[in-house]
Structure 1
Amino acid sequence: MHFGQLIGFLALVISLYILWQIRQIVLLAFAAVVLATVLSQMVKFFQRFRIKRGFAVTITVVIVLVILVCFFALIVPRIINQLQQFDNLMPMALERLRAWNNWLENLIPDQFLENIRGLRYLTQSLQSWFNQLINNFFSLVRSSLSIILGILLFVVLTIMLLVNPLPYRQGFIMLFPAFYRRRVDEILSKCVIALTGWIKGTLLTMSIIAVLSYVGLLILRVPLPLVNAALAGILEFIPNVGPTLSVIPPAILALSDAPWKAAAVVALYFGIQQVESLIVVPVVMKSQVSLLPAVTLLAVVLFGSFFGFLGVFLAVPLVIVCQIWIKEVLVNDILNHWQSSK
């Protein structure tokens, strides 16, 4: 290895190490890029009416802020109130579930007891999981200062990218050789289209899932329908894993009321997911890049392991961007033009 190659290799290793140390900031920057990409479509809409970009950005930011303020003023207080009730009801529900387990053990003959002892371990695991969740929530509240700083960084980056995105895009393109820069610009445009379609479809899907869950839980008279519906809508952002996790809290609360309600809640969520898969997704996700379910699931697990909570929520847009770059650069530009030498 020549001296220049050694220096280049060391520079690459050092760069990767630095990126790994600041991975949370890099993910926040990527999230800002995704949000700025989506909001820029609204800015372009206002520019069609011959409104200058600066004023169009201001209108867009004001609209987003109004929506957030209305959400926090109307919905968040009710969610917080029901979360406090949830904190009181969940231990009682788990205790009742444990009591039913003991009742079954006394009722069923000894030779069949081993088949249902797993339920006791399940309730114990759920109790410890719930306690851990509550403790993590309070830890999250205690670390609210770092969260606020992260949110401020995210907002400032988003606004800066939204006001004047061209220099940042050109700076990224300049990292590539001159002969390939036009091609990189085309790939970036495809990423913008894919991310915009994905976020629009995802937000619409989350809203539909939340509304259907809320109506269904109200009909079944399950406690805390608003919190459970909001949880179902938020977890819809995490494919495969999120919808499965969202059914656990309402099912436990329903089980504390009546066993048939728990089965009804599971059936309700299963039916909602079928409606989503067969009707909602094919309609609202037409412009989204098709992702293999196994790849998406692995991405959620891997990014969650490496990057934590933020990695889970950004797994899908990261996979979308990576898939486009792999398809366009590796497959279309390299492998499809590979000629074997004879």
Structure 2
Amino acid sequence: MKFPQWLSLAILLACGVLLWRLRDLLIHLFAGIVLAMAICTLVNQLRSRWRMPRLIALTICLTSLLLIICTALALIVPPFTEEFQQIIRQLPEAGRKLWVIALSSISQISSLVYGNNALEQSWTTSDNLFTFPDSTSLASGVSQGIQKILGIAGNLGNGLIQFIFVISIALMISIQPKSYREVAIQLVPSFYRRRARKILLECGNSLSDWMVGVLISSICVALLAGIGLSVLGVKLVMANAILAGILNIIPNVGPTISTIFPISVALLDAPWKAVAVVGLYVLIQNLESYLITPSVMQHQVKLLPGLTLTAQFTFAILFGPLGLFLALPLAVVLQVMIREILIHDLLDPWKKKLREQ
């Protein structure tokens, strides 16, 4: 290769290294963009129903969001926190009970097969076969693990700074979305700017559709979980229902994690309730997958389950816990860009030229 080609390759590698070093900043910047898109979606919905200046609609939306957040912090968060702490404290006892039930079932099966209780005695009399930590240490360990999973940063100071950064980016973009979009378009070569503008609008529309669909889906899941757990007589309904709605945002992994807490609570009451809770959550997820989601996401970008799981795994490795939480919106944007840029703009014309030859 000639010197200009080597220079271009070196610049490309340097840009790749720089982007890798700035990956934490980029994922927080994307979080701010996603939050800004959510605010802009609310503003556009408000302006489509009632004709008003954008600044007034933005002020109404931000004020309403602030009131909703303050109300939730005052009315929902205290009882949710108390119930969630009770769930964490009950996990060790639920684990012991599950272990006893499992040993009893194995012993009964072995007695039916071999006609003696030798296996039963050897399994059930061993105290060191399976030991549980005390409830205080396990509750502390689980709480610390959940804080690490849900935390934006490793310590409170960095987390607060990054949270302020995300909120600031979201507010600045939501005030002047067109201006920031044009700044991004100016970084693209002039011959491709019109096409880039269309692609960015398509990405924004896909993100808006995804956020509206996920919000409706999560609310429906939380309501169904709350109603179902109340009918079954499972305690701590509010905490389990809110967890089911929040974790529904994370596909595949979230719904699985959300079943652990109600199962633990139900197991302490009666084993049949734990089985009923499993059946309830399977039913809710089927309703969400085959009825709720197709109804509220008719125009959303269709993501294959394998692609979603791969995106979660990849972005969690690259960006940490926040990458796992933002895996789906990242996958939505990447799928639009791959479809529009790689397939429509690069591969399709190339394929057409090959056919002409």
Q: Same fold (TM over 0.5)?
A: yes
Q: Residues 131, 189 of structure 1: CA spacing in aligned structure 2 closer, same or farther, 3 A cutoff?
A: same
Q: Deviations over 1:38-89 (max 9, x none)?
A: 2113333555656443333222211111111111111111111102211221
Distance 2:183 2:95 in 1: 56
One-letter amino acid of the counterpart of residue 44, structure 1: N
Question: After alignment, is 272-281 or 92-101 more displaced?
Answer: 92-101
Verify the 8 A CA contact 1:97 1:123 in the aligned structure 2.
no
Q: Which residue of 2 aligns with 1:135?
A: 144
Q: How many residues align?
A: 338
One-letter amino acid of the counterpart of residue 38, structure 1: A
Secondary structure of 1:247's partner? Answer: helix
Q: Deviations over 1:244-277 (max 9, x none)?
A: 2221221122122211111100110111112112
Q: Which residue of 2 aligns with 1:63?
A: 64
Q: Which residue of 2 aligns with 1:243?
A: 255
Q: Which residue of 1 aligns with 2:31?
A: 31
Q: Deviations over 1:262-310 (max 9, x none)?
A: 1100110111112112211111011211111111111111111221111
Verify the 8 A CA contact 2:28 2:166 in the aligned structure 1.
yes
Shift of 1:143: 2.1
Distance 1:257 1:182 in 2: 63
Q: Which residue of 1 aligns with 2:94?
A: 93
Q: Which residue of 1 aligns with 2:209?
A: 197
Q: Residues 239, 121 of structure 1: CA spacing in aligned structure 2 closer, same or farther, 3 A cutoff?
A: farther
1:314 to 323, 326, 330: 326
Q: Which residue of 2 aligns with 1:167?
A: 179
Q: Residues 64, 288 of structure 1: CA spacing in aligned structure 2 closer, same or farther, 3 A cutoff?
A: same
One-letter amino acid of the counterpart of residue 201, structure 1: G
Shift of 1:224: 1.6
Q: Which residue of 2 aligns with 1:303?
A: 315
TM-score of the superposed pair, with normalisation by structure 2: 0.85
Distance 1:74 1:121 in 2: 45
Distance 1:45 1:135 in 2: 40
Secondary structure of 1:109's partner? Answer: helix
Secondary structure of 2:299's partner? Answer: coil
Verify the 8 A CA contact 1:94 1:256 in the aligned structure 2.
no
1:13 lines up with 2:13 in the alignment: yes
2:298 to 274, 278, 286: 286
Q: Which residue of 2 aligns with 1:333?
A: 345
TM-score of the superposed pair, with normalisation by structure 1: 0.89
Verify the 8 A CA contact 1:94 1:123 in the aligned structure 2.
no
Structure 2 stretches lacking a partner, 5+ long: none
Distance 2:348 2:199 in 1: 17
One-letter amino acid of the counterpart of residue 166, structure 1: K
Q: Which residue of 1 aligns with 2:77?
A: 76
Q: Residues 211, 121 of structure 1: CA spacing in aligned structure 2 closer, same or farther, 3 A cutoff?
A: farther
